[in-house]
Structure 1
Amino acid sequence: MHTTIERELDMTLVHPPDRRFPVPTRLRYRTDDPFAVHVDFHLDAARPVHWTFARDLLVEGVFRPCGDADVRVWPAGARDAPAARRVVCVALSSPEGDALLEAPAGPLAAWVERTLRLVPPGEECADADLEAALGALLGGGLGG
């Protein structure tokens, strides 16, 4: 049986030089896809914009800059600043364009922590039936 952890979160789209737009966002973590985080950004479009990237990027990005290429994550704001003013920045890059979003650090970190309690780091493959997966990959069997 697989479990899903979801979180609705209001992120902010930062549009240089000084414009900001609220972006309702849904974070989703599924135990049947334990390395990934699925994010839907609900913009003024018919369908949300969907991104999938490594959970490790959020795990590390809450504390220090990480990622390269398409997804980069880093904390912003002084550590001694009030919790409501700390954010985690998420920079996304695609052929269609780039986006910089800010997520409230506290709620994001709490959601990430829930995913880590559900599937601790290093245990992502614990439920995987590796022999069956390898057999399917090799065309049905390992016989000789």
Structure 2
Amino acid sequence: MGETVQAHVMMSFLASEELAFRIPVELVYEAQDPYAVRFTFCLPGDAPVSWVFGRELLVDGITGQAGEGDVHIGPVDDEYLADLHIQLHAGAERAVFRVSAPPLVAFLDRTDRIVPLGHESAENDIDAELDRILTGGRA
């Protein structure tokens, strides 16, 4: 309970087909919100930007194209544990990152140790039960 997994991963921000630069991206997973991963980056001269998306989306994007809507993740090519593209869409704006898969796999492995994938609702049940006990049975 209350456990957090944090990782700082260097990613290439693809500003255009000709321009890319490396930036640190912070990934955070908290057991109290077991379905989500927070992805925070800061482009030079801008304030930090955070996106929250499903941990399972990141897991699925390691081996194949995943995502609908605002976040898409998938391998750049068919090579096992190759680089990934992470695309974030906000209206007409789009941010694309390229990252090596192994640091993401290591991050996901650490999240799985505190809340195994597929057992997220059990973690929520434990928190609800603890809250009930601490409030003297009033939920």
In 2, distance between residues paired with 1:71 and 1:110? 21
Residues 1-144 of structure 1 mapped to structure 2, 5 A cutoff: 1-45=1-45, 47-79=47-79, 86-95=82-91, 97-129=93-125
State how far apart, in whole Å, the 2-side matches of 1:96 and 1:30 are. Answer: 30
Unaligned runs of 5+ in 2: 132-137
- The 8 Å contact of residues 31 and 123 in structure 2, kept in 1 or not, is answered as no
Q: Give the 3-state SS of the residue equivalent to 2:57 in structure 1.
A: helix
User: Residue 115 of structure 2 contacts residue 123 of structure 2 at CA under 8 Å; is this kept in 1?
Assistant: no
Q: Distance in 2 between matches of 1:21 and 1:46?
A: 15
- What's the CA shift string for 1:4-56, capped at 9, x where partnerless? 00000011111222211112110000000100000110222353111101111
- AA in 2 matched with 1:52: V
Q: Is the helix fraction higher in 1 or 2?
A: 2
1:116-137: CA deviation from partner (whole Å, max 9, x where unpaired): 222112211213245799xxxx
Residues of 1 paired with 2:63 and 2:78: CA distance? 12
Gaps of 5+ in 1: 134-139
Alpha-carbon distance change, 66 to 78 in structure 1, aligned in 2, over 3 angstroms: closer
In structure 2, C-alpha distance between the alignment counterparts of 1:45 and 1:5, rounded to whole Å: 27
Partner Cα separation in structure 1 for residue 46 and residue 102 of structure 2: 30
TM-score (ref. length: structure 1): 0.80
Cα distance, 1:108 vs. partner?
1.1
* Residue type of the alignment partner of 2:34: P
Match of 1:22, as an amino acid? R
Runs of 4+ in 1 over 3 A off after TM superposition: 129-133
- Across the two proteins, how many residue pairs are aligned to each other? 131
Q: TM-score, normalised by structure 2?
A: 0.83
